[in-house]
Structure 1
Amino acid sequence: MTAPQALNAAEPVAIAGGAVTLVEGSTFCLSEATGDVHPGGSHGLFFRDARVISRWELRLDGQPPHPLSVITQEAFAARFVLRRPPQLGHADSTLLVVRERLLGDGLRETITLQNLGREASAVTLTLHVDADFADLFAVKEGRGHGGCDVTVVGDELLLRDRGNASRGVSVSASSDPLVTPGALNWRIVVPAGQRWTTEIVAQPTLANRRVQPQFHRGEGLESSGPARKIQAWRNASTVITADDPVLTQVLQRTESDLGALQIHDQTRGDRPFVAAGAPWFMTLFGRDSLLTAWMALPLDVGLGLGTLQTLADLQGTRVDPITEEEPGRILHELRLGPDSTRVLGGSHYYGTVDATPLFVMLLAECWRWGAPEETVRALLPAADSALNWIRQHGDRDGDGFVEYRRATDRGLINQGWKDSFDGVNDATGRLADSPVALCEVQGYVYAALLARAELAEAFDDTATATRCRAEAEALRQRFTERFWLPDRGWYAVALDGRKRPVDALTSNVAHCLWTGIVPDEHAAVLVERLADKDMDSGYGLRTLATSMGAYNPMSYHNGSVWPHDTAIAVAGLMRYAHLDGATALAQRLATGILDAAASFGARLPELFCGFSRDEFSPPVPYPTSCSPQAWASAAPVLLVRSFLRLEPHVPGRTVTVRPALPAAWGQVRLDDLRLGPAAVNIRAEGDKADVHGLPPDWQLITSRG
């Protein structure tokens, strides 16, 4: 996506609250800036939704080393640079300590002691190790677990889950440690000017089988499995650069994080999909993974197809109130931890209202971007099953709108993207009674119906195309009649259980712009409302206007700023770029988000507080925000695409580019944009674009609109 970088081109890591996050697929690690994992908190090494290391503390002569810096070489690797505490009576230390950590279905840590002094240095090095095998949700909620049994077998430390002996972790090291229950110990003399090194590997065990890590002892970082995987992602991805250094840096971080968050399902043909985010959502999420794949289409259509194929395999087939599975429904969340069957009803939980229409939308979009026709055709039954869910189970009362209500008290109360318990409320702050019909979900359904109609027309299925278009138009009319609030100038965020409008002004209405369900006369008014300081924080669009009863800039969904939400709003505004003020507002929102990204070390977090830029600058972090987080990472790509107004249609052999780029971006460049058989290069600045590499029988559309 951006120009490939050498794997050893180190970048300072952004450390929020003193924590360092490393992530690779379904493995992630949270630690202190020293590299230590202290027991009793939320830090640890996590693998497949369980904490397999809960203590990992390095001591030199019984003392913790002093931190100097942390450098990340990739999202899955870091160097912790430390020193031994100065000896009594000395101001400086002569012993440098470097911990080089690599993740990939396990952990490898190389510890190097370098003696910078003029005489030999004696030191006792100890690594304290423990595990609790706690489920991810238990860690998040501050609950403990039954602990582990620790044994020493030869030169290995073996830790096993006391509640499930088939789950465990082995820890071993080079340089002949003395292994005792709970620790690895070395007594070392480092000659003057010399180095001493040991390599430690933590290898998880599942079902009494050791998981093969994605690295080997002694190999360089650039040769490891995670490095090869991310390099393959970079090689397959479009290279996006810009004159604006902040945008370029943010896009580089996007590339790294999306590569690290990818999980390849080996049981299903190595299909890729993106985990939702670290630390708490390192798994497949229907809504998050689908939207991230949509945003990332300019990079690689394969990620979208892998996501669709994986979700199609897990699509609901029966009615189960515990998991909320229903025929045709798309999965909300897949969990693999030890408590997965007790969390949200099961390891496969379906309580989401929006993933199902988003599935159909993404399928057609992948087709437009060049997905092979045979792959798209193979997914049509899943799309039709999804639409049948929308018509039958999704529309609970037959009024033509899709609603949600959890099936049991285990499920999520709110099942749209604002899924906190208080995420849907009216202008006074009153919570909406279920079942709830969200405004943006009706937009998604509208777009899904049009998407399926377009696919049907392409594949000579006139009857399906006619039916879906008629349904879409009827929905659009109903939506306009029931959701539009003429006295307010915005759409109700929802209809509640008694079909009363829930009248709060929220960012949800911008998603309606994105889907195209909004008529121009209403869109023009919405542009004015979204441009007001009640909604525009200066660093992005607030989830809830400051004038609403439930507004709280420090809340999860009631006044905070979510980068992906703002990016979708920008895409929606640019869809209506012909309206006065739409492009100007889109550019202002995008500028705010990129300014926020710069303050977060170029990595956009899941969300941040919605205080006004005039009140707090830089933006105030949200304390438990995920970072990296998939759709936040992908949001800058959607911004670039939106301002390029880039709309390829590979089956129709057309590419539309009608740029309206922010002046501060300068020139934006896309190299090796794969569109089916074509590899296209785009150079754009302001409202001008040059496109090279289109096949001779393709048409370039640049007309304004």
Structure 2
Amino acid sequence: MTEAPTALNAGEPALITDAGGTVALVEGSTFCLSDGAGDVRSGTTHGFFFRDARMLSRWELRLDGRAPHALSVITPEAFTARFVLRRPPKAGHADSTLLVVRERLVGDGLRETITCENLGREATAVGLELRVEADFADLFAVKEGRAAHGGADATVAGTELLLRDRSDGIRGLSVSASAEPAVVPGALTWRVVVPAGGRWTTEIMVQPTLAGRLVEPQFRRGERAERTGPARKIEAWRSASTEVEVDDPALTAVLRRTESDLGALQIHDPARGGRPFVAAGAPWFMTLFGRDSLLTAWMALPLEVGLALGTLQTLAELQGRAVDPLTEEEPGRILHEMRMGPDSASVLGGNHYYGTADATPLFVVLLAECRRWGADEAKVRAVLPAAEAAVRWMDEYGDRDGDGFVEYRRATDRGLVNQGWKDSLDGINDARGRLAEGPVALCEVQGYAYAARLALAELAEAFDDPAAAVAHRSRAEELRKRFAEAFWLADRGWYAVALDGDKAPVDALTSNAAHCLWSGIATDEHAAALVGRLAEPEMDSGFGLRTLATSMGAYNPMSYHNGSVWPHDTAIAIAGLLRYAHVPGAVALAQRLADGLLDAAAAFGGRLPELFCGFSRADFSPPVPYPTSCSPQAWAAAAPLLLVRAFLGLQPDVPRRTLTVAPHVPPRWGRLRLRQLRLGGATADITATGGEATVEGLPDGWTRSGTTG
């Protein structure tokens, strides 16, 4: 059996699972979904996907006509896996002597090496068949179970199987293999004899074609895995990233998986100079999403600032310029999502869809934060006009009725009904469970808008426009005052999740209210009451914060947004609580929520999923998975980094040459250390335990504030 490449395993946790469930491999805009044996099974949502189209709808290995027995799956990185199998035992035998290992790598193509190892004492004959089909279906059609695209024409050219999209001929696929396969439309076969103690291997290459041209994969035939493009990319990401160390082994495993997943989810767009942005998540969101990509980049700032800057530059280029009801584009509006599949023109109005209320203010907030973390001043200045246009959108289009709040209502029946992060059809409802009628003004969006105005004030001041800075701060304070008056439910002790089209409070208790702590729009008085409500069992599941309280009419722990737990949402709540660390109970609740979230991560093999069911820990432990949760998913992967940053109280300001560290490190973490934290052209090492921290390596002229050791 071939040894796994050392470079791919160095310091990395390998997810080892049984044969159950779906295995997702991802690298940029390429991903593959299979079962635990490595098979892409026909008639399922499995497939090898490239640029939002399913290129392979069947990829099944058979040994002497039978499915192999799956033993385990090892995924040392997000883009590669080893499926450990055995040939089914002969009739009357309990054991098998033929071990089969499928080593798969994805990255603008797919490479699979199949190795048969004979552990028996005599030679064995085996017939291998790889069944191959393609349907070139759009990603959304696959997700929704309606994949009925035009199908594929299959032809054979020597030992190469060629598949072409029958509907338009734009997409195609080439499948070729070593070890002299017999090739017919639909299958590659081998008849081999493996000597006692010997091995037999074949290497299969899958290359997409677009408009008749082969796409160059990120690997070559026979190339060692650690030298391939995906491996070099993840190594470069690690080399450029801050090293995070912690005593707690559970958090250590999660952080290592975070680093791997964020590296694999990055897309370097050659059309835009190779600058990076992060895809939202596998399997269904392997593309640029405004909200998801912005929040993930924010969370990942302690590792590297380039990802945030690349995300901002890309979104600035795609920023709305005109009014288009079909795509919901408006001048200054930041993109919701970008799609490249064959049906993109008919999905949510087109390839570029803008129906989101929160990405636009989050764009402005991230730009100012990028500058604080040391992004190049000239590059920040170049994006500043896009930030100014974003705030104009908040005033001219986001505020539909001139009341100072940002509202949403979809422009056509093709758009999203709800346009905040809880964007499912039933995601926004009141305490009785009734759906909110629009236009809807979400509480967290007002918080983001408040933070955006303060961020633009800071940028205006930095770039010599003090009058604009004063105006933006004034608008922010006015919004904060009006928000407190309109959204606070004094008799309940929480913020309304929204105002409806009649400006009546939508009074459900939700996790959205905790985002108001993160943005800073909450007053201290309101924060103190809110902390108490979030700490109650109806919100704290024991594994994280529920999206909707158990006492609400629409509560369902198995729903997408009405009672489930989303790791990124809980992480934002924790960061918000620590922003109000002076409020009684805030730090204790933050630490308790973090402990529960890390326990959930351990139950999921060190990788936090997009979401999981919100059952009480007392009733179900470990947590119950949500059946269609994305994994890896960008902001879930980045959530642990936000925890690290929040519990350190880490606030750099590179232009002012100041670094604030005010830690509240949870006891179970032990010692937390950041090595070579990049602060523009400077670096520093931070070590923290409990409420004390030391900083080493800050250059002369820098000021350190916060708790010292």
Does the 8 Å CA contact 1:14/1:600 hold for their aligned counterparts?
A: no
Could you say which residue in structure 1 is the equivalent of 2:32? 29
Q: Deviations for 1:166-221, whole angstroms, at most 9, x for unmatched residues?
A: 20111000111111011001111111111111100110111211110000000111
What is the rounded CA distance, in whole Å, between the counterparts of 2:486 and 2:63 in structure 1? 68
Q: Does residue 468 of the first structure (1) align with residue 472 of the second (2)? A: yes
Of the three residues 561, 566, 573, the one matched with 2:565 is 561
Could you say which residue in structure 2 is the equivalent of 1:647? 651
CA, structure 1 residues 375+5, in 2 after alignment: closer, same or farther (shift >3 Å)?
Answer: farther
Does the 8 Å CA contact 1:596/1:604 hold for their aligned counterparts?
A: yes
Does the 8 Å CA contact 1:505/1:544 hold for their aligned counterparts?
A: yes
Q: Does residue 658 of the first structure (1) align with residue 662 of the second (2)? A: yes
Q: Structure 2 length normalisation: TM-score?
A: 0.98
Q: Does residue 113 of the first structure (1) align with residue 136 of the second (2)? A: no
Q: Which moved more, 1:676-685 or 1:114-123?
A: 114-123
What is the rounded CA distance, in whole Å, between the counterparts of 1:458 and 1:333 in structure 2? 31
Does the 8 Å CA contact 2:20/2:35 hold for their aligned counterparts?
A: no
Of the three residues 280, 283, 287, the one matched with 1:276 is 280
3-state SS of paired residue (1:406): coil
Could you say which residue in structure 2 is the equivalent of 1:375? 379
Could you say which residue in structure 2 is the equivalent of 1:691? 695
Q: Does residue 83 of the first structure (1) align with residue 86 of the second (2)? A: yes
Could you say which residue in structure 2 is the equivalent of 1:159? 163
3-state SS of paired residue (2:684): strand
What is the rounded CA distance, in whole Å, between the counterparts of 1:476 and 1:389 in structure 2? 19
CA, structure 1 residues 382+5, in 2 after alignment: closer, same or farther (shift >3 Å)?
Answer: farther
Q: Deviations for 1:676-696, whole angstroms, at most 9, x for unmatched residues?
A: 011111111001111111011
Could you say which residue in structure 1 is the equivalent of 2:530? 526
Q: Structure 1 length normalisation: TM-score?
A: 0.98
Letter in 1 for 2:87: R
Could you say which residue in structure 1 is the equivalent of 2:608? 604
Could you say which residue in structure 1 is the equivalent of 2:51? 48
Q: Deviations for 1:250-282, whole angstroms, at most 9, x for unmatched residues?
A: 000100100111100111111111100111101
Of the three residues 231, 246, 259, the one matched with 2:250 is 246
Residue 88 (structure 1) shift: 2.3
Of the three residues 384, 388, 392, the one matched with 1:388 is 392
What is the rounded CA distance, in whole Å, between the counterparts of 1:105 and 1:456 in structure 2? 42
Residue 8 (structure 1) shift: 3.5
Of the three residues 107, 124, 128, the one matched with 1:104 is 107
Q: Does residue 217 of the first structure (1) align with residue 221 of the second (2)? A: yes
Residue 12 (structure 1) shift: 3.0
Residue 90 (structure 1) shift: 2.3
Q: Deviations for 1:409-468, whole angstroms, at most 9, x for unmatched residues?
A: 000000000000000000100100010000000000000000010111111111210110
Could you say which residue in structure 2 is the equivalent of 1:441? 445
**Gaps spanning 5+ residues in structure 1: where?**
none
Of the three residues 12, 16, 22, the one matched with 2:15 is 12
**Gaps spanning 5+ residues in structure 2: where?**
none
Does the 8 Å CA contact 2:19/2:71 hold for their aligned counterparts?
A: no
Letter in 1 for 2:406: V
Does the 8 Å CA contact 2:102/2:113 hold for their aligned counterparts?
A: yes
What is the rounded CA distance, in whole Å, between the counterparts of 2:502 and 2:668 in structure 1? 48
What is the rounded CA distance, in whole Å, between the counterparts of 1:89 and 1:326 in structure 2? 69
3-state SS of paired residue (1:7): helix
Residue 703 (structure 1) shift: 4.8
Could you say which residue in structure 2 is the equivalent of 1:587? 591
What is the rounded CA distance, in whole Å, between the counterparts of 1:533 and 1:218 in structure 2? 55
Does the 8 Å CA contact 2:487/2:495 hold for their aligned counterparts?
A: yes
What is the rounded CA distance, in whole Å, between the counterparts of 1:70 and 1:248 in structure 2? 21
CA, structure 1 residues 250+5, in 2 after alignment: closer, same or farther (shift >3 Å)?
Answer: farther
Of the three residues 619, 623, 634, the one matched with 2:623 is 619
What is the rounded CA distance, in whole Å, between the counterparts of 1:489 and 1:394 in structure 2? 28
What is the rounded CA distance, in whole Å, between the counterparts of 1:265 and 1:121 in structure 2? 48
Could you say which residue in structure 2 is the equivalent of 1:73? 76
What is the rounded CA distance, in whole Å, between the counterparts of 1:37 and 1:221 in structure 2? 22
What is the rounded CA distance, in whole Å, between the counterparts of 2:408 and 2:239 in structure 1? 42
Aligned length: 701
Does the 8 Å CA contact 1:489/1:529 hold for their aligned counterparts?
A: yes
Sequence identity (%): 75
Q: Deviations for 1:610-657, whole angstroms, at most 9, x for unmatched residues?
A: 111111111111100000000000000000110100000000000000
Could you say which residue in structure 1 is the equivalent of 2:632? 628
Q: How does 1:318-357 map to 2 (within 5 A)?
A: 318-357=322-361
What is the rounded CA distance, in whole Å, between the counterparts of 2:573 and 2:93 in structure 1? 58
Residue 135 (structure 1) shift: 0.5
Could you say which residue in structure 1 is the equivalent of 2:677? 673
Residue 587 (structure 1) shift: 0.4
CA, structure 1 residues 14+450, in 2 after alignment: closer, same or farther (shift >3 Å)?
Answer: farther
CA, structure 1 residues 15+132, in 2 after alignment: closer, same or farther (shift >3 Å)?
Answer: farther
What is the rounded CA distance, in whole Å, between the counterparts of 1:370 and 1:171 in structure 2? 46
Does the 8 Å CA contact 2:45/2:145 hold for their aligned counterparts?
A: yes
Could you say which residue in structure 1 is the equivalent of 2:152? 148
Could you say which residue in structure 1 is the equivalent of 2:521? 517
What is the RMSD computed on CA atoms of the aligned residues? 1.2
3-state SS of paired residue (1:416): coil
Does the 8 Å CA contact 2:374/2:655 hold for their aligned counterparts?
A: yes
3-state SS of paired residue (1:603): coil
